[in-house]
Structure 1
Amino acid sequence: MRIKKTEKKVYDYLLIQIEEGVFGPNSKIVEQDVAYQLEVSRSPVRSALLRLESEGYIKLIPYKGAVVLSKQLDSKTYVEQLKVFELLFIQYLFQVETKKNQLPFNQIVEQLTFISQGIDTQPRETVISMEMDLFKLLLSEQSNHYYKQLLLGIIKGVLETDFVGVTLPEEEAPLLFFYHLKKLVGYLEDGQYPQGRREIRILINHLVLAVIDKQDVGQLNKYES
């Protein structure tokens, strides 16, 4: 029984680190380091890694160890996840507006500036990481940890998914998100929450059309930095 509890402890720890991006795509998880950090033997760590591999989170490579995989969604799941995000995020904006909570706009605007400066020069993975930090700031008034992690997990999966031949090569989700998030923040700063919710609906609609109908929603130069 104790062994199973230890395995679960290690599994839960590693899963959280992967879901929250501490262990990003292509990063290596060192069995010995995890065992040392959690003060457990290597056996439960090995068992946890085997389970994570069976669930598609990592790949165990002989003589190299565990490598975190990019979480790719199929088009059906992608659209379903977008719809869940739209529903939950709009509900959250309703709560913020109703309770008259104050979002950390100084930090949010500063993060938008960082993204703007790096979106044309930084690797896609870096831009995604910066946008995830922006979403964490936008969700700062959400006290329900599960709700927040669900939203962040959905967005991370959506941003990291690359549909070759489905979404156009010049049309990347991170840039589209940035364009609409800038407009969203402007509306929220001005207290125009209905317009902010509408902006989220427009964003989701663009992404859904790009996948379902393979519609071109614009060129990169459409999205101002």
Structure 2
Amino acid sequence: MSKPKKLEEAAYQYSKKQILTKQWLPQTHITEIGLSKKLGISRTPIRHAFLRLEEEGYIVIEQNKGIRIREKQISLQGFRERLEFMELLLIDYLHFLQIKEIQFKTNSLETIVDQLKRVTLVKEIDVFSDIEFDYWTGFYQYARNTYTTSLFLDTFRSINGQADQEIQGFLQISQPTKIKHFNQILIFLKQSEYALARKEVRILINQLSLIAIQGI
């Protein structure tokens, strides 16, 4: 094997290992120049290694940005399982809020819902997803268990980072449903009606599951 091929193979194996062992998490951005400095090799073999990884579905090459680690592709069953998992985490968190008698301040989240309304059904669904991520981050503002919060947000990213066109379509058509229930959940939180907020979460997840079954 020639030296250029050995360097490409080294960059390929290193990058693939980083992805498979979760050292590079999904949605992480990596640049050629950054990896070049890390491995002490030129950018050319790294570029070739990235092309191989993109062909195998591990990454997405973004012009002038480097690469983005792809989310693991999931089936419809996996999609629904993640929704159900998110529901369990949300219900548990709302129980915590109720037990601690938290007075939930909703102002910032109400502003985010207004932002979501303005970008509903736009062609670039990443815009909606980014703002929705802010909603859930703010939603967990009173959480004391950072691990649980990370699990929820990672699950959210795994769903919204799917490249499958049918799932992308589901994410878009589900936007009005999300906004409706996001807003209602905030109304209940503002009134400290945690039991009703939990019920609303269950309705939301059920609605999203139905849309997924019908639309995917």
| Cα drift, residue 132 of structure 1 | 0.6
Structure 2: runs of 5+ lacking an equivalent? 1-13
Runs of 4+ in 1 over 4 A off after TM superposition: 52-57, 160-163, 166-171
Q: Decide whether the 8 Å contact of 1:31 with 1:42 is kept in 2.
A: no
Q: Decide whether the 8 Å contact of 2:59 with 2:68 is kept in 1.
A: yes
Instruction: Assess, with a 3 A threshold, how the Cα gap between structure 1 residues 198 and 167 changes in structure 2: closer, same or farther.
Output: farther
Q: Distance in 1 between matches of 2:60 and 2:169?
A: 29
1:19-55 deviation line (CA, Å, top 9, x unaligned): xxx64xxxxx31313566xxx4457xx6xx89x8799
Matched, 1:15 2:25: yes
- Scaled by the length of structure 2, the TM-score of the pair is 0.69
> 1:116: which partner in 2?
117
Q: Decide whether the 8 Å contact of 1:128 with 1:160 is kept in 2.
A: no
* Structure with the larger helix share: 2
> 1:132: which partner in 2?
133
Q: How does 1:34-53 map to 2 (within 5 A)?
A: 40-42=38-40
Matched, 1:210 2:211: yes
1:171-209 deviation line (CA, Å, top 9, x unaligned): 723332222111111111111111111111111111222
| Cα drift, residue 210 of structure 1 | 2.7
1:36-93 deviation line (CA, Å, top 9, x unaligned): 6xxx4457xx6xx89x8799551469xx963443654310001111111111111101
| Cα drift, residue 146 of structure 1 | 1.9
- Scaled by the length of structure 1, the TM-score of the pair is 0.67
> 1:219: which partner in 2?
none
Q: Decide whether the 8 Å contact of 2:84 with 2:205 is kept in 1.
A: yes
| Cα drift, residue 163 of structure 1 | 6.1
Q: How does 1:78-157 map to 2 (within 5 A)?
A: 78-121=79-122, 123-157=124-158
Q: Distance in 1 between matches of 2:165 and 2:108?
A: 32
Aligned AA for 1:179? K
Q: Distance in 1 between matches of 2:72 and 2:178?
A: 18
Give the match's secondary structure for 1:66: strand
Look at both structures and tell me which one has the larger radius of gyration over its CA atoms: 2
Root-mean-square deviation (CA, aligned residues, Å) is 3.9
Structure 1: runs of 5+ lacking an equivalent? 24-28, 216-225
Q: Decide whether the 8 Å contact of 2:70 with 2:161 is kept in 1.
A: no
> 1:26: which partner in 2?
none
Give the match's secondary structure for 1:14: coil
Instruction: Assess, with a 3 A threshold, how the Cα gap between structure 1 residues 35 and 151 changes in structure 2: closer, same or farther.
Output: farther
Aligned AA for 1:124? I
Instruction: Assess, with a 3 A threshold, how the Cα gap between structure 1 residues 131 and 65 changes in structure 2: closer, same or farther.
Output: closer
Aligned AA for 1:14? W
